[in-house]
Amino acid sequence: MSVQQRRERERAVRHELIVRTARELAESEGWDAITTRRLSERIEYSQPVLYSHFAGKDAIVAAVAEQGFAELAAARAAAGTAKEAVVAAIHTYLAFAEANPALYDAMFVLGTDLPFAQATTPAPLLAAFGQLHDVLAPLAGDRDSGVFTEVWWSTMHGLVTLARGGRIPAGGQEQRVAILVYQLTGTPP
């Protein structure tokens, strides 16, 4: 039985190698540059090996995305007052997106058929949304805190994607965050 265990261990290592390599490659050259051939070359295996681990390229992207959900959930910022918590959460979110653009795309832009807000939604994703909810809920007033969170998440997501696509100047995010905080808390940051 030990043989099989070793093999499963080796498979798991290679599985992780594929995900890590895909992420590194995407982060350095963008998802468009990720082809199964280049990826297989990087991990020093042939193409079909990828398909013994994943159903297809989309599944690899999804695996990278899931890593991202876990990391985003883990990037919990230190919380002081309610307002400080909101400011910290916003900066954490935007910094995460800026530091890991390809990862962010895998999570929130690509693969529009991920199971979100469903029974099969990945736990780390629920955790990440839950953290944002916890921080924003105190500011919701008499409005539904879940919908309230969705709206402000949309704002942050819009800021990230519009800035990344060059639709709004990439440089002015601080000013926008200031307005965001003002709008949320009623006072400047």
- Mask 48-87, x = binds DNA (CB under 7 A)? xx-xx---xxx-----------------------------
Among 9, 37, 143, 167, binds DNA (CB under 7 A): 37
Among 75, 91, 157, 189, binds a copy of itself (CB under 8 A): 157
Region binding a copy of itself by CB under 8 A among candidate stretches 4-12, 36-44, 54-62, 157-165: 157-165
Nearer to DNA by C-beta: 35 or 81?
35
Concatenated DSSP letters of the chain: -HHHHHHHHHHHHHHHHHHHHHHHHHHHH-GGG--HHHHHHHTTS-HHHHHHH-SSHHHHHHHHHHHHHHHHHH-PPP--SHHHHHHHHHHHHHHHHHH-HHHHHHHHTS-TTS--SSTT--HHHHHHHHHHHHHHGGG-TTS-HHHHHHHHHHHHHHHHHHHHTTSS-GGGHHHHHHHHHHHHHSS--
User: Would you tell me which residues interact with DNA (CB under 7 A)?
Assistant: 3, 6-7, 10-11, 34-38, 45-49, 51-52, 56-58
